[in-house]
Amino acid sequence: MAKSFLQFVEIKDTGKTKVWEVNNTSNIILGRIGWYSPWRKYVFMPNESTIWDFKCLSEVKSFMFNEMQKRKK
C-alpha cells in the first residue's frame, strides 16, 4: 500500500455524526469532513489555498465512504 500523507483526526462526536480534521503529516489542517444535512452524507470541506491530487482525493473519498458504511450498520 502506498504511504499516506493524510491523517483523519476526530474532533467532534454528536452521537449521530462526527467531524474530522484532515491533516497532512506535519499536522497542518487541510480541511474537514463533516455531516451535511441537506445531502444526508459526509462531505469534505477543503481549506482555502490547499492543493489536492487524485491520490489524496481518493483517500478522502475512501474515508468518507467507509464512515457512511458504518452509519448504515
> What is the DSSP secondary structure assignment for residue 50, as one 8-state letter?
-
22 in Cβ contact with 36 (< 8 Å)? no
Residue 21 domain-assigned (yes or no): yes
Residue 1 has pLDDT above 80, yes or no: no
Find the domain containing 52 and state its range. Answer: 6-72
Position 26 scores a pLDDT of 96
Residue 1 domain-assigned (yes or no): no
The model's pLDDT over 23-42, given as tens digits with 9 standing for 90+, comes to: 999 999 999 999 999 999 99
Helix ranges (DSSP H) in the chain: 54-72
Cell of 73: 450498520
Count of domains for the chain: 1
Residue 69 has pLDDT above 80, yes or no: yes
Residue 25 domain-assigned (yes or no): yes
Average pLDDT over residues 7-34: 97
Position 2 scores a pLDDT of 74
Cell of 22: 484532515
